[in-house]
């Protein structure tokens, strides 16, 4: 996959590779996983509440759902999944000590993240000008879930920036740091897939 020959691996990197092969490697660190699992549970709570509220007025929700543009939803999902691909490949590149490629890939992932925010902002603007505000219960959930998610995306872009800064400094580059950032970024992707399914697709 890579053009350049990997440079010498550090002890940490060979150790990671070894544990990965044995299937006992924790990507990133426990602090980040605690945050991710907790965040998943909290969002799970939001999703369940959404479903319960939806079950009380399914017709009204379905009717409101029809005002969302599925094309924009699909576009944004593909953008975010692609950004995750970039970041996941960056983790592999960093594990191979190919830091230049890792940085380029993370730039790609970050650019997709920014594009996602741009598309989302466009979608919000459209919906608000069309008169779908948070006075409708479905749209209240729409703005809340996508808004909180967008906050996570923005935070993720910041985290990717921190990862790039660390990768560019030879004394600070550590695979576990890249993995932490990547773990967070994929969580953002994962949550979006659920939001996409619940808000845009289900009937």
Tell me the Cα Rg of the chain. 19
Residue 28 tokens, joined: 């990133």
State which of positions 49-78 bind another protein (CB under 8 A): 49, 51-55, 58-59, 62, 65-71, 73-74, 77-78
Number of residues that bind another protein (CB under 8 A): 87
CB of 84 or CB of 167, closer to another protein: 84
Question: In angstroms, rounded to a whole number, what is the distance separating the alpha carbons of residues 150 and 96?
Answer: 32
With binding defined as CB under 8 A, does residue 198 bind another protein?
Answer: yes
Rounded Cα distance between 194 and 44, Å, is: 9
Stretch that binds another protein, among 112-120, 122-130, 131-139, 167-175 (CB under 8 A): 131-139
Q: Is the dihedral of CA 192, 151, 166, 106 positive or negative?
A: positive
176 lines the binding site for another protein (CB under 8 A): no
Q: Output 21 or 169, the one with its CB closest to another protein.
A: 21
Closest separation in Å from C-beta 171 to another protein = 16
Q: Which of residues 134-163 bind another protein (CB under 8 A)?
A: 134-135, 137, 140, 144, 147-148, 151, 155
Residue 99 binding another protein, by CB under 8 A: no
CB within 8 A of 197, min separation 6: which ones?
Answer: none
With b meaning 16 or more CB within 10 Å and e meaning fewer, what string describes 9-20?
eeeebeebeeee
């Amino acid at each position: 996959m890579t053009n350049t020959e990997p440079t010498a691996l550090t002890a940490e990197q060979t150790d990671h590779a070894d544990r990965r092969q044995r299937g006992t490697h924790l990507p990133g660190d426990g602090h980040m996983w605690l945050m991710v699992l907790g965040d998943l549970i909290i969002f799970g709570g939001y999703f369940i509440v959404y479903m319960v509220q939806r079950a009380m007025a399914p017709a009204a929700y379905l009717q409101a759902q029809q005002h969302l543009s599925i094309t924009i939803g699909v576009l944004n999902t593909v953008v975010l999944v692609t950004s995750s691909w970039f970041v996941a490949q960056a983790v592999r590149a960093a594990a191979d000590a190919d830091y230049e490629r890792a940085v380029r890939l993370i730039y790609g992932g970050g650019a997709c993240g920014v594009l996602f925010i741009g598309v989302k902002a466009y979608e919000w603007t459209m919906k608000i000008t069309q008169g779908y505000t948070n006075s409708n219960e479905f749209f209240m959930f729409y703005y809340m879930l996508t808004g909180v998610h967008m906050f996570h995306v923005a935070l993720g872009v910041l985290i990717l920036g921190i990862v790039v800064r660390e990768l560019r400094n030879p004394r600070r580059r550590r695979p576990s740091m890249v993995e932490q950032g990547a773990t967070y970024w994929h969580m953002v992707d994962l949550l979006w897939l659920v939001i996409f399914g619940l808000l845009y697709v289900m009937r």
